[in-house]
Structure 1
């Protein structure tokens, strides 16, 4: 029996000469693996709809193991993501994080909507690093990680100057800093954004404008927290970090780029 689902491709694996095993994150069924026979052939009707990050309707013959993809109807290919190597790096990380965070065949339409919104905003040109940080914060509960962000994790105070303690698992106020001499001193703007990213509905996202220094603080805290508690090692994260490092080094070593461009 064929069943229709709405899904986003989060992983593909070549199988044999012409086939692909495609992992879809679907609205109806959660994460499912499906065999797409002949999808590696350029003239296959399944070739386009099995590309990474593709958002489509699929007709699938489901089974207890791998399903069988029979047909796909493209909704969007998220073309802008695929044409920009940095956006591809961010989207790859979000896709791999989704894959590693979720169990097979556990429907979660709220998570599907979050993934779809994140990809859609990236494709529309919103700040990919901030979107990725928001997604990371939303995934913490899925991984069983519950940082304390609404008060001091030591004394419970909701007022004061806050730092972040990886060891204590959340914010600590200025009165409790001695409990963790290795705490991260961060700006109050970063504290506010960590809370916002964790609690707010991505569907209400407006224009994003965050200072580079604050973005660096957020990335440092979130990465350190994941490294300590998630147990995940993601190849896409390492690739993303290397791309960001390359871009930063390139700009530092090319101080006259903008000047020359303006003069031209």
Structure 2
């Protein structure tokens, strides 16, 4: 059966002398793997459309076993992502995280929308580190983790001082602090940011600029949850950690009109 689907290339792996095996996350059918014959040849009509991060329409022939990519019509090649080291690093993290947490043909409309919004935001020059944080928080339910962020995870209270508990995977109010001796105290601003990352669509946030310390704090929280609850290991995360130890490689992002606090 020949299908025309909108999709985004998550990864493209050389296969043999001339072919590629591509993983595409499609809007209509979820994630799938397809053979792109001849795509390694520079003159191939599939060469450009099978590059990582490419958003386009794909003609994929399906049947038993792996599908075959017959044709591609690009919507956006994500040129900025491929030309900017920082953008490439964070976009690679986003697509690897989504790839690891989803199964073939497991159709989740919200995942495609999240992937599309994240890559387009990075490609348009928004802070890629902040965008990757949005993806990490929003992918937690796909990983089977459902943090309690609308109330106290122990008593259900919605008012008071709150802290984050890895034991409860969510917020604890000040009345319940004693239930977890290792909880992380948070400010009201941090609480609002966590809820924003988890619930608000990327395209509705705009050019939110976060201080480095805020991003590091938010990253520590969500990655500890992933480490303790999922056990997944990402190659792109190790590369990001290396890049983050050399911030002089990247230009400083400053926007005094929009700060997180």
- Per the normalisation by structure 1, the TM-score is 0.90
Q: Distance in 1 between matches of 2:113 and 2:157?
A: 34
1:54 maps to: 54
* 1:78-117 pair list within 5 angstroms: 78-117=78-117
Q: Distance in 1 between matches of 2:240 and 2:132?
A: 11
Residue 127, structure 1, aligned to residue 127, structure 2: yes
The Cα offsets for residues 130-165 of structure 1, whole Å up to 9 and x where unpaired, read as: 111111111111111011111111222211221111
Say if 1:9 and 1:23, in contact at 8 Å, map to a contact too: yes
* 1:1-264 pair list within 5 angstroms: 1-247=1-247
Q: Secondary structure at the match of 1:172?
A: strand
Q: Secondary structure at the match of 1:57?
A: strand
Q: Secondary structure at the match of 1:48?
A: coil
Q: Which moved more, 1:75-84 or 1:107-116?
A: 107-116
The Cα offsets for residues 17-55 of structure 1, whole Å up to 9 and x where unpaired, read as: 111100000011100100001111111111111110011
Q: Distance in 2 between matches of 1:54 and 1:210?
A: 28
Q: Distance in 2 between matches of 1:189 and 1:129?
A: 19
Runs of 4 or more off by more than 6 Å in structure 1?
A: none
| CA-CA distance at 1:210 after TM superposition | 2.0
Say if 1:134 and 1:198, in contact at 8 Å, map to a contact too: yes
Q: Distance in 2 between matches of 1:187 and 1:19?
A: 52
| CA-CA distance at 1:178 after TM superposition | 2.1
- Per the normalisation by structure 2, the TM-score is 0.91
Q: Distance in 2 between matches of 1:17 and 1:105?
A: 28
Over the residues paired in the alignment, what is the CA RMSD in angstroms?
1.5
The number of residue pairs the alignment matches comes to 250
1:260 maps to: none
Q: Distance in 1 between matches of 2:165 and 2:124?
A: 35
| CA-CA distance at 1:64 after TM superposition | 2.7
| CA-CA distance at 1:59 after TM superposition | 1.1
Q: Distance in 1 between matches of 2:61 and 2:131?
A: 34
| CA-CA distance at 1:106 after TM superposition | 2.2
Q: Secondary structure at the match of 2:42?
A: coil
Structure 2 spans left out of the alignment, 5+ residues = 251-261
Structure 1 spans left out of the alignment, 5+ residues = 252-264
Q: Distance in 2 between matches of 1:6 and 1:43?
A: 23
Q: Distance in 2 between matches of 1:43 and 1:81?
A: 23
Say if 1:22 and 1:35, in contact at 8 Å, map to a contact too: yes
Q: Distance in 1 between matches of 2:174 and 2:108?
A: 39
Q: Secondary structure at the match of 2:23?
A: strand
Q: Secondary structure at the match of 2:49?
A: helix
Say if 1:187 and 1:214, in contact at 8 Å, map to a contact too: no
Higher helix share: 1
